[in-house]
Structure 1
Amino acid sequence: MKNKFSDNRISFSHKYFRLFLLLLFLTTNIMAQDYKIVVAKKGDGIYSLLKRNGLSPSDHFNPFIELNKNKLGRNNTLFAGQSYSLPIEGEMTNSIPVTGTTYSIFGKAYEKVIPVDNALNGAVYYLVSGHGGPDPGAVGRYSNHTLCEDEYAYDVTLRLARRLIEHGALVYMIIRDENDGIRDESYLTPDKDEKCYPNHTIPRNQVKRLRQRKDAVNKLYIKHKGSFQRLIITHVDSRSRGENIDVFFYHDKRSKTGKKLASNLQQTFKKKYDTHQPNRGYHGTISDRNLYVLKYSYPPAVFIELGNINHYRDQQRFIRNNNRQAVANWLAEGLLIDFKNNK
């Protein structure tokens, strides 16, 4: 005589075993979700990589880090040539909180700034991009396009500001264009609507223009007296078409701290070139120069020339957005070193 209880138990076990297999199959399929694989280009950061692939940086920053946490460098940097998995649109964005602060000055694609660390906590930076308003600065030609110094210096400076904020710094953009934002186009459309902090029209007269930005910096310096403060001035040089130059630096001859600041930046660029282009060499110089804003501004300052707007190879440093981002990243790294060496 069959044991009815035993038969029922076997039937019950088989049913649940089949259910277990079904759940395992479904779970495996979910876990085996196919992610698009992309390769980071030179100068890429997480934001530019996501944006280039049609994903919102503010929504997918943290999911990207979760997917690729074993492939990221210090401070979540990317490695050129490395393959990375892209988050799927909508996936994980509700389960992983995206924190950060919105800064409209960086534009829609870059306005959400998510902290990386507090390495620059207590540091105050005044960023002054050259010219602006009625003065475009140096003007170069690339194919049929006009390259204006003020637009490219401003874009690099915005990218630098964003990196410094990611590391916990307090940053003032002294020259501001509220509707440009960080732009990834190669050819940046010139305009004349830049303002000087907090919202002053930039005068046409050069002396008045320089005095205006110097006064803005010095007022803020007094406000933050006692804090670690630095002034960073960015320009693009204009030389003959045949002269290829590296990023180089000026400081006020009376400022030992300004000279040290310039040296920290120069050494960072040298190390970067030694790593990424070991056979190229780097020839960026440091020298003192009697420039108005360097001379009369209160905080230790550095004046940076980003390259020759008329030279073909230097122009690649400007027109390629990844190169503009790389320059900003290297400047930020040099400023991190300067802060650690001086605080």
Structure 2
Amino acid sequence: MNRIFIILLFLFSISGISVSAQSDKDTPRNGEGIHLFLKRNKRTGSGQYEQFLELNKGKFGRNNSLLLGVAYTLPPLSGKRNTEAQDKPAADKQDSKTKINKLFGNKYQEYTIKSNKLKGTCFYLSSGHGGPDPGAIGKVDGYELHEDEYAYDITLRLARTLLEEGATVHMIIQDALDGIRDDRYLSNSDRETCMGEVIPLNQVKRLQQRSDKINSLAKRTKEKYKRAVFIHVDSRSQKEQLDVFFYWAPKSSGGKKLANTMRTTFESHYDKHQPSRGFTGTVGERSLFVLDKTTPVGIYAELGNIQNSFDQRRFLDPNNRQALANWMCRGFITDYENWKKGK
């Protein structure tokens, strides 16, 4: 009897070990995307989507779709220390101001909080189009320039710059592979997601998705200064050269103040760097879906004409893309300072 009991106990132990070893893997159900798959497995914490992609490279279908019958490795449950987590202090540094955000790519993932100028602020950054929709398309030197790729790169640069000034930042549109890139011609893809969710092809559904995501985040945001930022590249006649211009939602006094602050900021930098040219960018009130449907004060930026050869220089040179991000960041700093003064 004792011998049988010991054998049973041994088999039970092996079974328990097997269950435990497999507890960090699971297979998707029919029709289940990454977002629902992680939600079912209680992995919805910050950075866990990016961890999941990293842990399962090469196991996805088109647009990072899950494949039936494939066992996917799950990131640690929330509360467990995860050294690959987004926005964590660098493992080899003790400086609490040094952070890592893997969305920025290997070269730029590490950043340092340089100031508290934007402490107490929260930004929701949404680059235009993405996923199945490339947006406007320009051509130069045999390359296709897709709006979503250049808008995303500038948005990433803006996110990093805002973080360096102490802001809280949410990237609404994300690409798990494309970080900040210093190439002139950015490779095109359709793998962008809305914070892990597949972007619909239908325009209204696509815009509603990112608006809902911003509103959901805004409800849980503790910061009182909240700004939704939508970054696009326009498409017009090849002969039409444009400067950056900004829109705000109808009757939004905060949006109007922000747009005018941005224009003044850009104007001052143009006077400094291109005094003979001047700045002709405009601001205006406009009813746009994402401005109308989101609850935080919003601003919609058009960064130039992707068809115009002069405007293309603004996008092709990575230094110019960074300058756009820097100038927008300075505009936000001024707007925040005015907001605190009650102006």
TM-score normalised to structure 2 length: 0.71
Distance 2:150 2:183 in 1: 11
3-state DSSP of counterpart to 2:144: strand
The structure 1 residue matched to 2:267, chosen from 261, 267, 270, is: 270
CA contact (8 A) 2:246 2:282 kept: yes
3-state DSSP of counterpart to 1:107: helix
Structure 2 letter corresponding to 1:277: Q
Distance 2:303 2:156 in 1: 14
- Show the 5 A alignment for 1:30-179: 100-179=98-177
Partner of 1:205: 202
Deviation at 1:96, TM superposition (A): 11
Deviation at 1:226, TM superposition (A): 5.6
Structure 2 letter corresponding to 1:118: N
Partner of 1:31: none
Structure 1 letter corresponding to 2:105: G
Distance 2:272 2:301 in 1: 22
Deviation at 1:210, TM superposition (A): 0.3
CA contact (8 A) 2:121 2:223 kept: no
Distance 1:227 1:98 in 2: 24
CA contact (8 A) 2:125 2:170 kept: yes
Deviation at 1:227, TM superposition (A): 1.8
Deviation at 1:115, TM superposition (A): 1.1
* CA deviation vs aligned residue, 1:147-179 (integer Å, no higher than 9, x gap): 000000000000000000000000000000111
Residue 262 of structure 2 corresponds to residue 258 of structure 1: no
Structure 2 letter corresponding to 1:340: E
Q: Over aligned residues, Cα RMSD in angstroms?
A: 1.6
CA contact (8 A) 2:231 2:300 kept: yes
- Show the 5 A alignment for 1:294-309: 294-309=291-306
Distance 1:254 1:188 in 2: 37
> Structure 1's 143 and 254: CA in aligned 2 closer, same or farther, altered over 3 A?
same
Distance 2:103 2:193 in 1: 12
> Where do 5+ consecutive residues of structure 1 fail to align?
1-93
Q: Percent identity?
A: 49
Distance 1:247 1:104 in 2: 29
CA contact (8 A) 2:120 2:223 kept: no
> Structure 1's 329 and 226: CA in aligned 2 closer, same or farther, altered over 3 A?
closer
Distance 1:157 1:129 in 2: 6
Partner of 1:324: 321
Deviation at 1:241, TM superposition (A): 0.3
* CA deviation vs aligned residue, 1:165-216 (integer Å, no higher than 9, x gap): 000000000000111000000000010000102x110000000000000000
Deviation at 1:224, TM superposition (A): 1.3
Partner of 1:279: 276
> Structure 1's 98 and 133: CA in aligned 2 closer, same or farther, altered over 3 A?
same
Runs of 4+ in 1 over 3 A off after TM superposition: 94-99
Deviation at 1:95, TM superposition (A): 11
Distance 2:178 2:130 in 1: 12
CA contact (8 A) 2:172 2:214 kept: yes
> Where do 5+ consecutive residues of structure 2 fail to align?
1-91
Residue 332 of structure 2 corresponds to residue 335 of structure 1: yes
Distance 1:108 1:339 in 2: 31
TM-score normalised to structure 1 length: 0.71
Partner of 1:48: none
> Structure 1's 201 and 172: CA in aligned 2 closer, same or farther, altered over 3 A?
same
Distance 1:187 1:147 in 2: 7
Deviation at 1:252, TM superposition (A): 0.6
Larger Cα-atom Rg: 1
* CA deviation vs aligned residue, 1:91-136 (integer Å, no higher than 9, x gap): xxx9997950110000010000111111100100000000000000
The structure 2 residue matched to 1:188, chosen from 174, 186, 189, is: 186
Distance 1:98 1:211 in 2: 37
Distance 1:95 1:222 in 2: 34
3-state DSSP of counterpart to 2:300: strand
